[in-house]
Amino acid sequence: MSPPPSRRWPAEWETHDATWLGWPHHRSDWPRKFETIPWVFAEIVRVLHRYERVEILCDSEEVRSDAVDCLVAHGVDLSLCRLHVVPTDRVWLRDSGPTGVHGLRGLEWIRWAFNGWAKYDNFQKDELVSQAIAELSDHSSLSALRPDNTVRMVLEGGGIETDGAGTMLVTEEWLLSDVQVRNPGLSAAGYERAFADYLGITHTIWLGEGAVGDDTHGHVDGVARFVDPNTVVLSYEPDPADDNHRRTSDNLNRLRLAALNFRGGLNVVTVPFPQPVTMEGERLPASYANFYVANGVVLVPTFNDVNDRTALTTLADLFPGRDVVGIHAVDLVLGLGSIHCLTQQQPTAMNPKG
């Protein structure tokens, strides 16, 4: 019998000590819309800080001052938030930040290498965000290496999803397709070994592709999320004429196949996509699956769409012990990300389950 993993990556719905996010400052991420974005972030903080502490990284003292003004204007109690001056290139801390796991000595941060999604040249500040969060939170951290122990392993938090009980969801598009350029030559078996070593993962479900418009090469947090140890919410597009139909039908089939041998069974609950959100002819990765689960609350992106109500109602049924709050994300998603992409949870420090 194999020994139990030395680490356990807790599910997002388990208790947090805090939520980390960065304050927006990179104007070109939201062309002609940047002025609205700090107010969206302020609304996210306004909701979150009622349930758990919010830790905010600010690129400079000027950005910190602007953030304070915006938060105060939005009715945020600053005694429940901490603002830190930490240089950042962008604010998608789900991807640039570390992953919190329960280790033998409590909370441990796993620090992945970050290469700007293999799309941008300016990621050097973001590459240091994981270390900054570990130091500011006063918890130990570990730099993740490839299985051959030669170089750091490139990974983003938006591409990995867990049930907290040893199962992970990822997509082949993100890590195994021809378009991925994160860890050249690393096989599915190599990734699974790293997932086991650093996250305590014992079973990986490989989905196919992410959502249309996702410039991360198919992060799973735009299409499929665990909501309890035996339930996955899947974004599904029933219209054969929509480009997401083929992708999501394949993912549905893969989950149904995985359910045949899943411990205790695996329920798959589908939610629709909103109608396509575009900017200058470019389809944006608008998806209700990019929700964030915090202590007592679930923040869900909404798009002034008829399907908003369906998504909110479905998630409210799946999280009966939490408030479900919609956050207007039409402007936010212009930055090619949404609520889950910009948040990173700090799990409560505790010993792993036996």
Catalytic positions: 341
Map residue 328 onto helix, strand or coil: strand
| C-alpha to C-alpha distance for 300 and 56, rounded to whole angstroms | 20
Helix (H) or strand (E) holding 82: strand 81-85
Degrees to nearest 5, angle at CA 61 with 55 and 67: 50
| C-alpha to C-alpha distance for 90 and 246, rounded to whole angstroms | 32
Helix (H) or strand (E) holding 111: strand 106-111
**Terminal-to-terminal C-alpha distance of the chain:** 15
| C-alpha to C-alpha distance for 20 and 54, rounded to whole angstroms | 6
DSSP code, position 276: P
Strand partners, 140: 108
316 within 8 A of 309, measured Cβ to Cβ: no
| C-alpha to C-alpha distance for 125 and 284, rounded to whole angstroms | 26
Selection from 220, 213, 292 nearest residue 251 by Cα: 220
Map residue 96 onto helix, strand or coil: helix
